[in-house]
């Protein structure tokens, strides 16, 4: 593979940009629950917000964290290594050809800036001046909750909205900020890929304010298959838009309002660039279906035996109830989530104690194969570890063969 000079490769990319203009993201068909033209338009709006809207969070990522300075020194190989994904549909044909021919120097930071100019880095929005300076960066929901199908190369492919980005090392990325002190950076670097701690600090529009210490990073969840689940987050702090508002304002740093007296957090900024977008964003999220387990990825006969165990001897279905495999809506009052004390399921109480409910929601089970590790803190590296956890906690005394059958059933969900 021949790498042509740094200057010329940026030229190739810049030319491609000039020739083809802005490449719009591929319009895949949108099918929502709400049919008809208005419903489809709402979904399209919601998708655009989910993928591309920073809600003005450049006020955090650019003005405070100065990430534009850091990102301009990161080459594409490093960006891919910390889990950032590239949307192949945003790349003009000449760029794809150059990549295929091995003519793009992935060790040149200027290529990262060009990819940002092309709006090709999933979940990161950059503003690039005419002279090629990165002047602003912000992030979108897609950063954490979209991946790509790797169809072009590892980390480069078609967008998979709703899939947790299990490779994304948010802590390592934020630790690049020239504005943070060494102790904070060191703490962020311990989080590792696929994890984030949304209860460690918040941004109030001006300052980063501490919330809880030390940090307790949790797994970034997949967010497909939430239709009918009712309450979101591991601790069911509210219905879906609750989190969107919490994360959009206090974590992403969007310009808007969030208030929850239960956790003593009140952020107000005018104009509110978040709240008016929540309905369309909600519609789009609820349209995201969980991926089906690929044919041949599990043993059908064993899964059928596992399903019987799940319902009967192993007692899983008392909490993981059909159709969504959760009991969060099974309480007497539909506006109050039905939850479990951490001790009841043998979970670490630390994270729940920092949330509004203090308890855990029975996680709806869907697309499990796609997003190891499991449990809110990632304490189970694989599905056998999940089954072993329950076997021990509930004293189930499952045989090795029964455990294997349960795992095959979980793989099929
Ligand atoms: C920095 C990474 C990050 C970003 C950006 C982010 N989230 Fe999340 N998201 C998380 C984490 C971590 C959780 C788990 C929080 C919890 O359960 O307490 C979560 C939880 C969720 C859930 C709940 C999933 C479930 O099973 O109940 C939804 C829905 C969601 N996010 C949607 C969004 C939307 C929409 C945006 C943009 C407004 C967004 N997120 C931005 C990290 C992120
Ligand atoms: C008493 C209620 C209860 C029972 C019984 C129960 N679960 Fe759970 N399950 C939960 C709760 C609550 C969580 C969330 C725990 C966390 O993330 O901290 C969970 C999480 C999970 C997860 C992780 C999902 C993810 O995406 O991270 C899997 C898988 C799972 N349970 C499978 C099972 C299996 C298999 C059984 C039977 C052996 C079982 N559960 C029995 C309540 C229960």
- From residue 15, alpha-carbon distances to 9, 10, 12, 120, 122 in Å are 10, 8, 5, 16, 22
What angle (nearest 5°) sits at the alpha carbon of residue 147, between those of residues 145 and 148? 155
pTM above 0.85, yes or no: yes
Fold of 300-327+362-412: Cytochrome Bc1 Complex; Chain D, domain 2 (1.10.760)
Pocket around ligand 2: residues whose beta carbon is below 6 Å from it?
Answer: 234, 314-316, 318-320, 340, 344-345, 347, 360, 362-363, 365, 368, 374-376, 386-387, 390, 406, 410
Q: What residue's CA is closest to ligand 1, atom 16?
A: 233
What is the pLDDT at residue 29?
52
pLDDT tens, per residue, the chain with 413 residues: 333 334 444 544 544 444 443 333 434 456 545 557 788 999 999 999 999 999 999 999 999 999 999 999 999 999 999 999 999 999 999 999 999 999 999 999 999 999 999 999 999 999 999 999 999 999 999 999 999 999 999 999 999 999 999 999 999 999 999 999 999 999 999 999 999 999 999 999 999 999 999 999 999 999 999 999 999 999 999 999 999 999 999 999 999 999 999 999 999 999 999 999 999 999 999 999 999 999 899 999 999 999 999 999 999 999 999 999 999 999 999 899 999 999 999 999 999 999 999 999 999 999 999 999 999 999 999 999 999 999 999 999 999 999 999 999 999 99
Q: How far is the CA of 312 from the centre of ligand 1 (A)?
A: 33
What is the pLDDT at residue 337?
97
Q: How far is the CA of 351 from the centre of ligand 2 (A)?
A: 16
Residue with tokens 């949108």: 30
Q: What residue's CA is closest to ligand 1, atom 13?
A: 220
Question: Are the C-beta atoms of 378 and 195 separated by less than 8 Å?
Answer: yes
Pocket around ligand 1: residues whose beta carbon is below 6 Å from it?
Answer: 50, 139, 141, 143-145, 170, 196, 198, 218, 220-221, 223, 226, 232-235, 240, 243-244, 247-248, 252, 281, 285
Q: What residue's CA is closest to ligand 2, atom 9?
A: 362
Q: What residue's CA is closest to ligand 1, atom 20?
A: 233
Of ligand 2's atoms, which has the minimum distance to the CA of residue 347? 18
What is the pLDDT at residue 26?
39
What is the pLDDT at residue 38?
84
Dihedral sign, CA of 337, 342, 348, 351? positive
Q: How far is the CA of 243 from the centre of ligand 2 (A)?
A: 21
By C-alpha distance, which of 237, 202, 276 is closest to 53?
A: 276
List the chain domain ranges: 6-286, 300-327+362-412
What is the pLDDT at residue 30?
63
Q: What residue's CA is closest to ligand 1, atom 36?
A: 141
What is the pLDDT at residue 31?
55
Take residue 340 and report the two structure tokens written for it.
Answer: 């479990």
Q: What residue's CA is closest to ligand 1, atom 3?
A: 144
Question: Are the C-beta atoms of 319 and 362 separated by less than 8 Å?
Answer: yes
Take residue 61 and report the two structure tokens written for it.
Answer: 């990522």
List b or e across 263-290, with b for residues whose CB sees 16 or more CB atoms inside 10 angstroms: bebebebeebbbbebbebbbbbbbbbeb
């Amino acid at each position: 593979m021949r790498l042509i000079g740094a200057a010329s490769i940026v030229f190739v990319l810049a030319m491609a940009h000039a020739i083809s203009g802005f490449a719009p993201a591929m319009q895949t068909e949108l099918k929502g629950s709400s049919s008809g033209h208005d419903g489809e338009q709402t979904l399209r709006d919601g998708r655009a917000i989910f993928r591309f809207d920073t809600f003005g969070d450049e006020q955090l990522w650019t003005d405070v964290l100065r990430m534009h300075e850091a990102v301009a020194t990161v080459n594409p190989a490093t960006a891919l290594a910390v889990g950032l994904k590239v949307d192949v549909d945003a790349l003009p044909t000449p760029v794809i050809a150059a990549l295929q021919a091995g003519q793009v120097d992935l060790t040149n930071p200027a290529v990262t800036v060009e990819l940002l100019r092309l709006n090709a880095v999933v979940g990161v929005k950059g503003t690039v001046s005419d002279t090629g300076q990165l002047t602003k960066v912000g992030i979108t929901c897609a950063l954490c909750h979209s991946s790509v199908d790797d169809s072009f190369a590892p980390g480069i492919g078609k967008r998979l909205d709703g899939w947790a980005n299990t490779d994304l090392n948010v802590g390592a990325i934020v630790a690049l900020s020239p504005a943070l002190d060494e102790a904070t950076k060191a703490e962020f670097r311990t989080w590792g890929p696929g994890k984030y701690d949304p209860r460690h600090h918040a941004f109030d529009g001006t300052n980063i304010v501490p919330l809880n210490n030390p940090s307790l990073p949790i797994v970034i969840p997949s967010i497909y298959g939430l239709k009918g689940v009712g309450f979101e987050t591991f601790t069911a702090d509210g219905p879906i838009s609750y989190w969107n508002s919490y994360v959009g304002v206090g974590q992403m740093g969007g310009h808007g309002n969030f208030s929850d007296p239960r956790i003593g957090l009140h952020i107000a900024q005018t104009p509110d660039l978040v709240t008016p977008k929540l309905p369309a964003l909600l519609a789009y999220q609820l349209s995201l279906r969980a991926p089906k387990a690929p044919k041949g990825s599990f043993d059908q006969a064993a899964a059928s035996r596992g399903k019987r165990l799940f319902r009967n001897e192993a007692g899983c279905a008392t909490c993981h109830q059909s159709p969504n495999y959760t009991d969060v809506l099974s309480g007497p009052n539909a506006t109050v989530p039905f939850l479990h004390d951490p001790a009841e399921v043998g979970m670490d109480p630390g994270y729940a104690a920092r949330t509004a409910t203090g308890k855990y929601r029975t996680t709806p089970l869907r697309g499990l194969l796609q997003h190891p590790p499991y449990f809110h803190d990632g304490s189970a590296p694989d599905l056998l570890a999940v089954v072993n956890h329950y076997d021990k906690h509930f004293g189930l005394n499952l045989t090795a063969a029964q455990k294997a059958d349960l795992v095959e059933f979980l793989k099929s969900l």
